[in-house]
Chain A
Amino acid sequence: EAGVAQSPRYKIIEKRQSVAFWCNPISGHATLYWYQQILGQGPKLLIQFQNNGVVDDSQLPKDRFSAERLKGVDSTLKIQPAKLEDSAVYLCASSLQRLTDTQYFGPGTRLTVL
C-alpha cells in the first residue's frame, strides 16, 4: 500500500513570500489532516478535512494560512505571507474514515523562513 505523499520535502523562502505544500493521502482515506511541528514540539493540528469538507480549522491562522481539498483527494496548504515563526515541518496525515482512528503520516515538508 502506498503511503501518504508530500511535496516538496524542503523549502526555503524569505519572510513575506508565499509558499504552498501538497499532500496526496492514502487511496480511499476520507480524512486528511495538516499538522505543524515546530522543532522540539509535538505536532499541532492546523486543519482537518472529511472528504472535501472542513471538520476543524480552529487552530489555523486564517489571516495567512489557507487549505483546500477540492475533490476530496489531494490537498494543498498555503502560507501567504510567511513569517519567521512559520519555520517548521508541515505534516500531512490521513485516516480511512472519520471514526477509524489510525492516522498515517507523510514524510513532511521542512519549511525555513529567513
Chain B
Amino acid sequence: GENVEQHPSTLSVQEGDSAVIKCTYSDSASNYFPWYKQELGKRPQLIIDIRSNVGEKKDQRIAVTLNKTAKHFSLHITETQPEDSAVYFCAAKYNFNKFYFGSGTKLNVKP
C-alpha cells in the first residue's frame, strides 16, 4: 500500500550548520510533496512544498529537492537557528487529494 518513509527520526546539529531530512514514497503517481513543521503542542505548519514537475524549490534558508525516478524528496535547512528546533513531517499526495505523512524528524539545533 501507499506509505512514506522518513529519516532520520532525530537530528541534532550545531547552530549555523545545515540539516537534511529525507523521505521516500511508494506511489509513482504522487505529484505533490509538502513539508510541515510542528512545534511542541502546536499544529503542523506548512513550510515548503514541491510539485512533481519541479526538481528543486527554495525559500530563503529552506529548500526541497525531488527525485521522481528514485521516488524520494529531501528538506534542506541551511544556517540553522535554535528556533528551527521542532518536529518536521514530510507528506505525499496520492489519489483524491489523500495525504500520507512520514513518521517525523525531531530536529534539535544546539546554540
Interface residues of A, Cβ cutoff 8 Å to B: 31, 33, 40-45, 48, 55-56, 91, 95, 98-99, 101-108
Beta-carbon nearest neighbor of B101 in chain A: A42
Q: Which residues of A contact B43 (CB under 8 A)?
A: 91, 105-108
Given A43-B44, A101-B32: A56 and B98 within 8 A (CB)? yes
Beta-carbon nearest neighbor of A110 in chain B: B41
Shortest Cβ gap from B29 to chain A (Å): 14
Q: Are A98 and B89 in contact (CB under 8 A)?
A: no
Chain B interface, >50% SS class:
strand
Looking at the complex, which one of B34, B42, B93 makes contact with A107 (CB distance below 8 Å)?
B42
Q: Which residues of B contact A105 (CB under 8 A)?
A: 36, 43-45
Q: Which residues of B contact A98 (CB under 8 A)?
A: 96-97
Q: Are A45 and B89 in contact (CB under 8 A)?
A: no
Total contacts A-B at CB 8 Å:
55
Shortest Cβ gap from A17 to chain B (Å): 24
Q: Are B96 and A101 in contact (CB under 8 A)?
A: no
Q: Which residues of A contact B34 (CB under 8 A)?
A: 101-103
Q: Which residues of B contact A104 (CB under 8 A)?
A: 46
Q: Are A102 and B46 in contact (CB under 8 A)?
A: yes
Q: Are B99 and A45 in contact (CB under 8 A)?
A: yes
Beta-carbon nearest neighbor of B97 in chain A: A98
Beta-carbon nearest neighbor of B89 in chain A: A42
Q: Which residues of B contact A106 (CB under 8 A)?
A: 43
Q: Does B103 contact A (CB under 8 A)?
A: yes
Given A42-B6, A42-B89: A48 and B103 within 8 A (CB)? no
